[in-house]
Amino acid sequence: MLVVGTITKIHGLHLVQGMPLEAICRERGLSYMVVRKALRSDAMDFRYARNRHLRAGQRRTGRRGGNRRPPAAG
């Protein structure tokens, strides 16, 4: 399995520098079919999005009941 970094390098070598597939195979030590599959894949569209960022000192809320109130003084 190829990681996104390797696929990015393959795309850069082929599309930006114009290197042929055979040369990429020799340089990277990959098979021709792996390089071809990497160029056809949409793995370049790797995105990581987080819904909201926590500020310093802020606690996560959610599955474990994060907004607990301290026990009432009594």
Domain range annotation of the chain: 4-40
pLDDT tens digits for range 26-62: 999 999 999 999 998 866 655 556 666 667 766 666 5
Rounded distance, CA 31 to CA 34, Å?
Answer: 5
Q: According to the model, what pLDDT value does residue 17 have? A: 94
Rounded distance, CA 65 to CA 32, Å?
Answer: 52
| Residue of 66 and 51 predicted with greater confidence | 51
Rounded distance, CA 23 to CA 55, Å?
Answer: 48
